[in-house]
Amino acid sequence: MVTVALIFVRTSAISRPAPLHGMKVLDLSRVLAGPWCTMILADLGAEIIKIENPNGGDDTRRWGPPYVGTESAYYLCANRNKKSVAIDISTAEGQEIVRTLAAGADVLVENYKLGGLEKFGLGYKALSALNPRLIYCSISGYGRQSPLAARPGYDYVIQAEGGLMSVTGPADGEPMKVGVAVADLYTGMAAAQAVLAAIVAQQRDGTGQHIDMALFDAQLAMLANVGAAYLATGEDPPRLGNQHPTVVPYQVFATSDGSAVVAVGNDRQFAALCKGPLARPELAADERFQTNAARVRNRKALIPLLAARIAEEPTAFWLEAMRANGTPCGEVRSVGAALTSPEAMARQMVRQVQHPTEGEIGLVASPLKLGATPVVTPAAPPLLGQHTDEVLAALPGHDEASILDLRERGIVA
In degrees, rounded to 5, the angle at the alpha carbon of residue 41 between the alpha carbons of residues 37 and 44 is 145
In whole angstroms, give the CA distance from residue 316 to residue 313.
8
Residue type, 176: M
Please state, as a whole number, how many other Cβ atoms lie within 10 Å of the Cβ of residue 7.
Answer: 10
- Is 155 among the catalytic positions? no
Q: Is 412 exposed, middle or buried (0-12, 13-18, 19+ CB in 10 A)?
A: buried
In degrees, rounded to 5, the angle at the alpha carbon of residue 30 between the alpha carbons of residues 27 and 31 is 145
Q: What are phi and psi of 28, to 5 degrees?
A: -105, 30
Q: How far does the chain reach from its first CA to its final CA, in angstroms?
A: 60
In whole angstroms, give the CA distance from residue 369 to residue 365.
11
DSSP E strand stretches across 87-195: 107-110, 135-140
**Strand, helix or coil for residue 251:** strand
Are 319 and 331 in contact by the 8 Å Cβ rule? The answer is yes
Q: Which residues pair with 139 in a beta bridge?
A: 213
Q: Is 184 exposed, middle or buried (0-12, 13-18, 19+ CB in 10 A)?
A: buried
Catalytic residue among 155, 184, 212, 217: 184
Question: Which residues carry out catalysis?
Answer: 184
